[in-house]
Amino acid sequence: MIEFCGIQLAHRIVNGSGTFDAIAARRAFGDEVLERFPFAAFVSKTVTVAARGGNPPPRLWEAPAGLINSIGLPNRGLDGYLAHDLPQLAELPVPLVVNVMGFTREEVAALVGAFAGRPEVAALELNVSCPNVETGLIMGADPTETARLLERVRPLTPKPLIVKLTPNTSDVGAVAAAAQSAGADAVSLVNTLRGMAMHPRGDGTPWLGGRTGGVSGPAIRAVAVAQVAEVAERVSVPIVGMGGVQSGRHARDLLQAGATLVGVGTESFRDPLAGARIVDELASPAPRGNREIAANHA
């Protein structure tokens, strides 16, 4: 067993928030999802106070070795999540981490407060990749904003608080250090990198309905390894590392860079059981010898 913020986990692989919908998966695959659940903990899609329909399509653009998405955080809102999603997610065979996002500190506080007393919820993940509408600043892009947020919500719950860091900042290490100082129990990174695709018809308009989106997949893996290593030098709390992980070897790279857990995200779009395969590969690492080293540039 792995210990993470006091939670016992069967292995080190979890999902990235918003990359696996356990409720939808049961509609497509039935109860086999529960019997062969690929993740050691389930991180649910971002919940906001008010319900959101999401961004206008198109929402996807296949990038070289990856994906740009502009989904816009569709969700039922806090009341809908508590009434509809939470009872179903509580049936999963693994601990539940609820990812929340607010457009003001008070909204985040309301969300954290609402889950604080729910025994179904093992931990909370704070999505700080959105602008604070009061300041216009992306909360997680600025160490001071991040610290203020943690100071506001830390007293509201004894549950572990994981801060999902954005890579769209000049100094992710400083933001991570600020989060830890203000009471975060863990950090997770990387969220998607901001990206944009122009319309293929060539008239200079953006392709995505939301104009810009987030880049994920193997295209950002090297960035993730570097940022996890950088954050690991600045904090002592555990790190959930993610970004373009497709194999046990990629997961091992992030663990060696300083992560305690590894998130699988976009790879689950290619295969919903990718997480389980990565767990197996991590348990039986392939040897790395001189031949593998030479193979990189051979």
What is the smallest separation between the CB atom of 226 and other proteins, expressed in angstroms? 21
Q: Does 206 bind other proteins (CB under 8 A)?
A: no
Q: Does 60 bind other proteins (CB under 8 A)?
A: yes
Residue 56: count other Cβ atoms within 10 Å of its Cβ. Answer: 11
Nearer to other proteins (CB atom), residue 133 or residue 283: 283
Size, binding site for other proteins by CB under 8 A? 42
Q: Which of 10, 25, 223, 255 binds other proteins (CB under 8 A)?
A: 25
What is the smallest separation between the CB atom of 143 and other proteins, expressed in angstroms? 31
Q: Which of 5, 13, 33, 153 binds other proteins (CB under 8 A)?
A: 33
Nearer to other proteins (CB atom), residue 18 or residue 248: 18
- Please calculate the CA angle 168-122-184 and round it to the nearest 5 degrees: 40
What is the smallest separation between the CB atom of 39 and other proteins, expressed in angstroms? 12
| Sites for other proteins among residues 223-282 (CB under 8 A) | 266, 268-273, 276
Q: Which of 69, 129, 157, 166 binds other proteins (CB under 8 A)?
A: 69
168 within 8 A of 228, measured Cβ to Cβ: no
What is the smallest separation between the CB atom of 192 and other proteins, expressed in angstroms? 12
Kindly state the tokens that stand for 252: 């091992």
* Window contacting other proteins (CB under 8 A); options: 1-9, 60-68, 146-154, 184-192: 60-68
Catalytically active residues are: 130
Q: Does 54 bind other proteins (CB under 8 A)?
A: yes
Nearer to other proteins (CB atom), residue 61 or residue 115: 61
* Window contacting other proteins (CB under 8 A); options: 20-28, 124-132, 166-174, 281-289: 20-28
Cα–Cα distance, 174 to 11 (Å, whole number): 29
Q: Does 58 bind other proteins (CB under 8 A)?
A: yes
Q: Which of 6, 50, 65, 106 binds other proteins (CB under 8 A)?
A: 65
224 within 8 A of 242, measured Cβ to Cβ: yes
* 4 residue type, one letter: F
Q: Does 71 bind other proteins (CB under 8 A)?
A: yes
Cα–Cα distance, 292 to 277 (Å, whole number): 21
Residues near other proteins, by CB under 8 A? 18-21, 23-25, 27-30, 32-33, 36, 45, 53-60, 62-67, 69, 71, 74, 217-218, 266, 268-273, 276
